[in-house]
A = this chain, B = another copy of it.
Amino acid sequence: MRSTKIADAVVRRLVIYLRALEQEPADDDATISSYELAERAGVNPALVRKDLAWFGEFGTRGVGYKLAFLRSQLRRILNLEHEVPAALVGAGSLGVALTRYSVGRRAADSAFNVRIVALFDNDPGKIGLSIDGVPVYSVRELAPRVRELGVDLGILCTPATAAQEVALTLAAAGVKGILNFAPVALRLPPGVRLVSADLSLEMQYVAYLLERERVASLRETRTAREPAGGS
C-alpha cells in the first residue's frame, strides 16, 4: 500500500472549504473556481486544487467545480454523512456548554455530525439529570455504557488531573478517538486518535501576541550587544 498520509492541515482546510460552499446559494448548477473558493477560505488557489486532488478529481478543466457535487463530496470525505456517537466526561460548565452547543449545531447545520449520547460525572447531584435531553451517568458506569451505546468518540472536559485516567478508560472501552479539552498532554494507546482543543493554551498564546512588540524590543537589545550588529 502506498502510504500517502494526508496531512492534518489538509483536512482542517477541507472543513473550511465546505463551510464556504455552504454559504453559497443552493443553485445546484453553479460552479466555483479554485480562485473564488480560495478567496473565501483565505488561502492560495493552488492549495485548494492540491488539497482536493488528494481525494480525487472533482473539477472540470476550463469550468471549475460544480458547487453541489463538491459539497457532497466534501461531506463524504469528512464522514459528515454518518453520525458520530460521543460520550462527554465532566459535566461542569464547559461540558454542559459543549453539550448544548453540539445539540444546537446539530439542529441548525446538517453538516454537524457529532452527537453526544451520554454525559458522565462524579457529582451525585448531577447523576440522573439530563442536559438538553442527554442523560448524566456516574463515571463508574463509563466503560459498560460506552460499549452499550456504541460510542466512537470520547470528549474530555474533566480537570487536568483526572484526564489521563479517564482517557485510558475510554480507550479500553473501545472509543476510536478522543477530543481533549483538559489542559494536559495525554498518552494514548496506539490506534486511538487524539485531538486537543486546549482553551487555556489559546488564551495564553493570545496573551503573548498582545505583547509581541515588547518581546521584539527585548530581542533588539540582545542583538545590539553583538559587535557592529549589522542589518
Binding site for B on A (CB under 8 A): 1-2, 4, 6, 8, 11-12, 14-16, 19, 40-42, 55-56, 77-80, 82, 84, 92-94, 96-98, 100-102, 105, 111-114, 152-153, 176-177, 179, 183-185, 193, 195, 197, 199-212, 214-216, 218-220, 222-223, 230-231
Contacts and interface: CB of A to CB of B under 8 A. Distances in A.
Given A195-B202, A223-B2, A231-B2, A208 B100 contact: no
A6 B211 CA distance: 13
Contacts of A176: 210
Copies in the complex: 2
Contacts of A204: 15, 78, 80, 111-114
Contacts of A193: 206, 209-210, 212
A80 B210 CA distance: 11
Given A77-B215, A204-B113, A219-B55, A210 B97 contact: no
A207 B16 contact: no
A185 B42 contact: yes
